[in-house]
Amino acid sequence: MKPTPGRLPAELVDDLVDAGSREHYADAALYDYEYRRRRADVTFYRELAKQRGGPILDLGAGSGRVTIALARDGHEVVAVDRSPAMLARLRERVAALPAAAGARVEVVAGDLCTFTVKRKFPLVIAAFNTLEHLYTRGEVGAMLARVAAHLAPGGAFAFDVQLPDLAWLLRDPTKRWAKTRFTDPTTGRATFYSTNHDYDPVGQIALIRIYYDPVDGKGPTKIVKLSQRKFFPAELEALVAHAGFRMVERYGDFAWQPLDGRAESQVLICERARRSVPARRHRSR
């Protein structure tokens, strides 16, 4: 069967999505270095935790950017992730905390769609595009069902995903973009970073390639895959509603500003939808 014009073969997409859900998280030192200046989302979730209270369930916790900050603020945090490298780094960071703060963190290895923690939470979070690793409607539904099962009455589920940028999605996949020079934190070598991607418009998945080229040209290029499902605003609202949630707040950044077409992120705060009580029928006599 010939592939549909403008789309990659389905079998190749499946392989790339699988690799792209893992490879970007295999080098914890490089991951932490690349996102060391990303602080606005941490500030947002800290403020939300102050408003909502804990304990907090942090899904897709990674190496602990948000988890560690919440623990330092005095919150109990259960941090869930499936990446062995991220979990190892998170445990190292927890061990380095003062004893009281470290005791407030429980690290759990688990999948977003199947995890189980034997408690309920007034606040569940999934920061930094975690939901973009849910590639099908079934996966989104399974994850939201697990969230619902772990929410305390009146609890909130807060998360962020990117607002799809059509110009970015449709970039030429044969060119390199965002070229940046940096020093690899593990090897100490001067390295060029650049990216490109293919976009599957039916599955709404960006299949991203991140290139690491030695500046001196000595040695091979390292290519790391990252796959992200893109969610459009009305679609996202419908998905959470279908799962039994209602969107109570929505922002376009981590400074609590409204969502508009210029936003980079969609930040949602959702609660379980209240069940309507059916009206009683009156029998006529």
Contact 195, 24 (CB under 8 A): no
Q: pLDDT tens across 220-275, in order?
A: 999 999 999 999 999 999 999 999 999 999 999 999 999 999 999 999 999 999 87
Q: In angstroms, what CA-CA distances link 181 with 24, 38, 190, 211, 219?
A: 18, 18, 7, 11, 16
| Mean pLDDT, the chain, whole residue set | 92
Q: What is the pLDDT of residue 18?
A: 81
pTM of the prediction? 0.91
pLDDT value for 13: 59
- How is domain 35-163+231-272 classified at the CATH fold level? Rossmann fold (3.40.50)
Report d(CA 279, CA 271) in Å as an integer.
24
* pLDDT at 174 exceeding the cut of 90: yes
What pLDDT sits at residue 17?
A: 83
Query: For residue range 6-48, what is the model confidence (pLDDT) as tens digits?
Result: 455 565 556 678 888 899 999 999 999 999 999 999 999 999 9
pLDDT surpasses 70 at 278 = no
Instruction: State the greatest distance between any 2 C-alpha atoms of the chain, in Å, as a whole number.
Output: 92
Q: How many CA atoms lie within 13 A of 250 on its CB side?
A: 15
Q: How far apart are CA 65 and CA 41, in angstroms?
A: 10
What is the residue extent of each domain of the chain?
A: 35-163+231-272, 166-229
Q: What is the pLDDT of residue 20?
A: 81
CB atoms within 10 A of CB 36: 10
